[in-house]
């Protein structure tokens, strides 16, 4: 009887050990899968580059490009203008409401606001010295060619060139923007 109990205990112990090894293997596999998933997420993370041009006293345009590896995924245009000293006395919420209302009455807003993939907003600087009209294009919701046609009232040749670079590799588009006189912000 003692031999049967001893043998049963040994078999139980061996079974427990083998299950532990199986769980270790499962954990190692899950861990390596998790690590490769995190690596893919890091590779696919959207990065941005910003390019700017000064137009005149306190007026500035900026373009922010969102990209992954070899693909441009978003385009944001910011047009900065100064806020008058009288208006600077207002709080941020009032200023935002004032300029948002002004934006909503503009022709471009009326023409493009309902287009999928395009959004408009107002951005006020914390010091209330300037505000920006912001147009953002999300290329998962709007085609790049459609956006390029909408974006500017450029000539046919300029629009074709813009489309070409927008559909190309991010680095080529960055060079295109620099050739247009914009400087990369670091």
- All residues at 6 or more sequence positions from 184 whose CB lies less than 8 Å from its CB, including other chains: 49, 50, 51, 174, 178
| pLDDT bracket for residue 44 (50, 70, 90) | confident
List, for residues 113-151, the tens digit of each pLDDT value: 889 999 999 999 989 999 999 999 999 999 999 999 888
Looking at residue 17, its pLDDT comes to 42
Q: Quick check: 167 pLDDT over 90?
A: yes
Please report, for the chain, the start and end positions of each structural domain, with discontinuous segments joined by +.
Answer: 1-44, 47-185
Residue with the two structure tokens 């000539």: 155
- Average pLDDT estimate for 151-173: 88
Q: Quick check: 100 pLDDT over 80?
A: yes
Q: What is the CATH number of domain 47-185?
A: 3.30.1830.10
Q: Mean pLDDT, the chain, as a whole number?
A: 81
């Amino acid at each position: 009887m003692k031999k049967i109990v001893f043998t049963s205990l040994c078999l139980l112990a061996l079974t427990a050990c083998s299950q532990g090894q199986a769980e270790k293997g499962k954990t190692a596999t899950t861990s390596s899968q998790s690590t490769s998933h995190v690596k893919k997420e890091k590779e696919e993370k959207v990065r941005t580059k910003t390019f700017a041009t000064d137009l005149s006293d306190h007026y500035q345009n900026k373009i922010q490009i969102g990209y992954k590896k070899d693909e441009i995924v978003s385009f944001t245009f910011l047009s900065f203008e100064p806020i008058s000293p009288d208006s600077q006395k207002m709080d941020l919420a009032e200023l935002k409401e004032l300029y948002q209302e002004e934006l909503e009455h503009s022709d471009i807003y009326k023409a493009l606001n309902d287009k999928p993939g395009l959004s408009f907003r107002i951005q006020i600087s914390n010091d209330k010295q300037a505000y920006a009209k912001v147009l953002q294009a999300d290329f998962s919701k709007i085609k790049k060619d459609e956006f390029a046609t909408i974006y500017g009232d450029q000539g046919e040749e300029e629009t074709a060139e813009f489309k070409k670079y927008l559909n190309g590799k991010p680095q080529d588009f960055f060079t295109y923007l620099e050739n247009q006189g914009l400087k990369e912000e670091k």
